[in-house]
Amino acid sequence: MNPWRGLKNIPRNIWLLAFTTLINRSGTMVLPYLVLYMTEKIRVSPAEAGLVLAFYGAGGLITAPFVGKLSDRIGAMRIMKFSLIATGIMLFMFSFVTNYYLILFITLVWSVINESFRPANLSFISKEVLPEQRKTSFALNRLAINLGMSIGPVVGGFLAALNFSFLFYVDGDKEVKTMQIDYTRS
């Protein structure tokens, strides 16, 4: 049995979503370098830098259950678009902030906004494909996530070596531009 056979029947909007997810998850370029950024550029202790990551994790934990219901109420596409544009704005802002407590707050807000993309993404897939296409569609989405999470840190490493601020600018710009993809044409 050919595992790729089912991909030819996946609707165009799911392929576009997979591409968007790939780009969105490539944005993980900031997260792996956040501790280095905090210790080298902001000059906080490793423990304080670790707390910034904990704030990101906490934001992600509190987001998922609520956003799933919210996307059912107002629409997954609206949530994903909001997540992409607001994440881009948050990342641009992040590079200008040097106050540790403000960074904690911004990290929490960034996490809530950025992680709201995931449940909306899954909701969108569930509603856009036929039941027999769901398994393949979710597998395509997972592939996009894994590729993005592989590509992002590599690119982020090169950017961080040049200038930590480039991480935020490139990732923020990527989020804003990804929001402009049109999913409505099937």
Domain with residue 171: its CATH number is 1.20.1250.20
Residue 33 contacts residue 156 (beta carbons within 8 Å): yes
Our count of domains for the chain comes to 1
Give the DSSP per-residue string, 2-45: -TTGGGGGS-HHHHHHHHHHHHHHHGGGSGGGHHHIIIIIS---
Instruction: Give me the pLDDT at residue 3, please.
Output: 59
Residue 185 contacts residue 12 (beta carbons within 8 Å): yes
Instruction: Give me the pLDDT at residue 4, please.
Output: 67
Kindly state whether residue 184 falls inside one of the protein's structural domains: no
Residue with tokens 């710009």: 173
Residue 43 in tokens: 């000059």
Kindly state whether residue 5 falls inside one of the protein's structural domains: no
Instruction: Give me the pLDDT at residue 186, please.
Output: 41
Kindly state whether residue 31 falls inside one of the protein's structural domains: no
Number of helices and strands in the chain (H, E): 8, 0
pTM of the model: 0.82
Instruction: Give me the pLDDT at residue 92, please.
Output: 85
Identify the domain containing residue 66 by its residue range: 46-178
Rounded distance between C-alpha atoms, residue 143 and residue 7, angstroms: 12
Along the 186 residues of the chain, how does pLDDT read in single tens digits? Answer: 565 677 888 999 999 999 989 988 887 788 888 898 999 989 999 999 999 999 999 999 999 889 988 998 999 999 999 998 898 888 888 888 999 999 999 999 999 999 999 999 999 999 999 999 999 999 999 999 999 999 988 888 888 888 888 878 776 665 555 555 555 544
Residue 7 in tokens: 């991909």
Instruction: Give me the pLDDT at residue 49, please.
Output: 96
DSSP H or E segment with residue 46: helix 46-74
Residue with tokens 């996490």: 111
Instruction: Give me the pLDDT at residue 173, please.
Output: 61
Kindly state whether residue 73 falls inside one of the protein's structural domains: yes
Kindly state whether residue 136 falls inside one of the protein's structural domains: yes
Rounded distance between C-alpha atoms, residue 9 and residue 17, angstroms: 15
Residue with tokens 């992680």: 115
